[in-house]
Amino acid sequence: MENQNIADQELWRIARKRVGFKKHLAAYIVINAFFWGIWWFSDERLSENDEYSAIPWPIFSMLGWGVGLMMNFLSAYVFYNKHSSIEREYEKLKNKK
């Protein structure tokens, strides 16, 4: 029964991480869309000679925040089972002795 409880706790931890990532992704999309809207409708996007500037400023928030979002994704969906890998390594070492 204790193993079942530990497994349930692990599943809850994974579920919390995944829901956290989805909230983070939603905030990223909404806020960056807002930034792009500000940039698009402002006069800042035009340079002095009425040509588009080379780099729009919202790209910097997308790239910087995107790194954090990618780390959140990796933690929630790729490397979520870190405790199990530690337990497997422990079992290998224990069986060696």
Give how far Cα 5 sits from Cα of 8, 16, 35, 37, 60, Å. Answer: 5, 16, 45, 48, 44
14: amino acid identity, one letter:
I
54: amino acid identity, one letter:
A
- What is the pLDDT at residue 53? 64
- What is the pLDDT at residue 11? 85
- What is the pLDDT at residue 70? 96
Compute the distance between CA of residue 14 and CA of residue 10 in angstroms, rounded to an integer. Answer: 6
Residue 89: φ, ψ to 5°: -65, -40
How is residue 91 written in tokens? 């079992």
3-state secondary structure of 53: coil
The predicted model scores a pTM of 0.72
